[in-house]
C-alpha cells in the first residue's frame, strides 16, 4: 500500500510524528488536504484549554511548525498558486479557537513558504517576524572560528581552561538543574518539562539529540544545553546556566561544542528564535547569518482582554503587542 503522504516534502524534525507524540503525550492534532489518494498539505498543532479559552499553539520544545505542502510541479508561479490554495484550505479546516500562534520558516520549500503568510493574512491572521541566526557548520572549523567576534573566541578559550565538557544521558538530571537554576533567580519556566524525559529518550533512540554540560573540576555542572537535529539542521533548543557561578564563557563553550558536532554531521546550526536585543547581541557574536521566521497569530477579543488584565495585575501596565 502506498504512503498517502509520500509527495510531501521531507518533514523537519518538528513535523515528525514521533516528535509530536513525544512532546504532547500523543495529544496533538492536525488538519490535512488530499488530492485524490495523496495528502498534499498538513498542518499539525497542539490544543490546550485554559480558563474556558481554547488555544491552538506549538507544543513545548517545538520551535517551528508551519504548513507542510506539496506545491506540485511546473513554473514557480504555478507552484506558488498551488501552495496558496493548499494553505488556504488547511486554514479553513482549523477548529474554532480563542487564540492561535505558530512560527514558520518562510524559506522552506525553496522559498515558496514565504507566501504562507499571505494565505494567513487573507484569512484574518497577523504575520510578524522573529529573528534567528544560522551558522553553516559544513565550513572548515577554522573558518567558523574566524567568523566569531574576538571576545567570543577569548571567552571560549578561557572556558576551556576552567571547565570540561560532558554528555549527560540522564534527562532528569537536566530537568533538576534547569529548575534549580530558575528557583535561584526566582523565575518560572516558560514551558512544561513533563515530557522532556520522553522526548530525550526518543531522540537518543534515533541519534538526533544530546545534552551537553560544562563541568567544574569538582564535577559540579555550570551550564547545560539540549540540542536536537534532523538531516539538515541542528537546533539550539534549551540552555540553562547556574546563576551563582560567575563566568563569561561556559555557554559559549557549549555552543562551540555544538557547532563542532554540527560540522561533523554536515549540518546548519540554528541558534533559535531571538526575542531580545541582548540575546541577539550575544548570539550574533558567533558569526551567524540573520534569518527571519514568520510568527502567525490570531485571537478573539476575549483572549486579548484576559491577557491585558493578567499583565496589568502582574506589573501594573497594559499588554503591548508583541510577536516574540
Q: What is the DSSP letter of 115?
A: G
Whole-model pTM over 0.85: yes
- In DSSP notation, 258-278 reads HHHHHHHHT-EEE---B-SHH
Specify the DSSP element, H or E, that contains 108. none
Query: Per-domain residue ranges for the chain?
Result: 13-131+292-315, 138-266
**In CATH, which superfamily holds the domain spanning 138-266?**
Gcn5-related N-acetyltransferase (GNAT) (3.40.630.30)
C-alpha 55/C-alpha 98 separation (Å) is: 6
Residue by residue, pLDDT tens for the chain (324 residues) are 456 677 788 889 999 999 999 999 999 999 999 998 899 999 999 999 988 899 999 999 999 999 999 999 999 999 999 999 999 999 999 999 999 999 999 988 888 999 999 999 999 999 999 999 999 999 999 999 999 999 999 999 999 999 999 999 999 999 999 999 999 999 988 889 999 999 999 999 999 999 999 999 999 999 999 999 999 999 999 999 999 998 989 999 999 999 999 999 999 999 987 878 888 999 999 999 999 999 999 998 766 655 545 544 444 443 333 322
pLDDT tens, position by position, 65-114: 999 999 999 999 999 999 999 999 999 999 999 999 999 999 888 889 99
- In DSSP notation, 11-31 reads PPGGG-HHHHHHHHTT-EEEE
Nearest to 62 by CA among 12, 10, 106: 12
Alpha helix ranges (H) inside the chain: 17-24, 76-92, 116-122, 141-146, 150-162, 171-184, 196-205, 250-265, 277-284, 301-315
Domain boundaries 13-131+292-315, CATH class: alpha beta
C-alpha 316/C-alpha 183 separation (Å) is: 24
Amino acid at each position: 500500500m502506498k504512503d498517502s503522504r509520500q509527495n510531501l516534502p521531507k518533514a523537519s524534525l518538528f513535523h515528525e510524528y514521533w516528535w509530536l507524540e513525544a512532546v504532547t503525550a500523543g495529544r496533538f492534532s492536525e488538519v490535512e488536504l488530499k488530492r485524490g489518494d495523496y495528502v498534499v498539505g498538513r498542518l499539525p498543532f497542539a490544543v490546550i484549554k485554559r480558563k474556558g479559552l481554547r488555544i491552538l499553539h506549538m507544543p513545548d520544545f517545538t520551535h517551528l511548525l508551519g504548513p507542510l505542502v506539496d506545491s506540485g510541479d511546473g513554473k514557480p508561479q504555478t507552484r506558488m498558486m498551488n501552495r496558496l490554495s493548499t494553505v488556504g484550505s488547511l486554514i479553513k479546516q482549523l477548529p474554532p479557537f480563542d487564540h492561535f500562534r505558530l512560527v514558520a520558516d518562510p524559506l522552506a520549500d525553496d522559498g515558496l513558504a514565504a507566501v504562507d503568510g499571505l494565505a494567513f493574512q487573507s484569512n484574518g491572521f497577523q504575520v510578524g517576524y522573529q529573528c534567528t541566526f544560522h551558522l553553516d557548520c559544513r565550513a572548515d572549523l577554522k573558518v567558523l572560528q574566524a567568523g566569531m567576534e574576538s571576545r567570543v573566541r577569548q571567552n571560549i578559550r578561557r572556558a576551556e581552561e576552567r571547565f570540561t565538557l560532558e554528555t549527560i544521558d540522564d534527562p532528569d538530571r537536566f530537568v533538576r538543574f534547569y529548575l534549580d537554576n530558575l528557583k535561584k533567580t526566582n523565575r518560572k519556566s516558560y514551558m512544561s518539562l513533563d515530557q522532556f524525559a520522553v522526548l530525550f529518550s526518543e531522540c537518543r533512540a534515533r541519534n538526533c539529540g544530546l545534552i551537553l554540560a560544562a563541568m567544574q573540576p569538582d564535577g559540579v555542572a555550570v551550564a547545560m544545553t539540549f540540542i536536537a537535529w534532523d538531516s539538515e539542521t541542528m537546533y539550539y533548543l534549551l540552555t540553562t546556566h547556574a546563576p551563582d557561578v560567575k563566568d563569561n564563557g561556559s555557554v559559549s563553550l557549549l555552543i562551540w561544542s555544538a557547532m563542532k558536532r554540527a560540522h561533523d554531521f554536515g549540518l546548519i546550526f540554528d541558534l533559535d528564535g531571538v526575542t531580545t536585543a541582548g540575546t541577539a547581541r550575544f548570539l550574533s557574536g558567533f558569526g551567524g547569518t540573520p534569518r527571519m521566521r514568520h510568527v502567525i497569530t490570531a485571537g478573539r477579543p476575549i483572549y486579548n482582554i484576559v491577557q491585558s488584565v493578567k499583565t496589568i495585575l502582574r506589573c501594573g501596565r497594559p499588554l503591548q503587542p508583541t510577536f516574540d
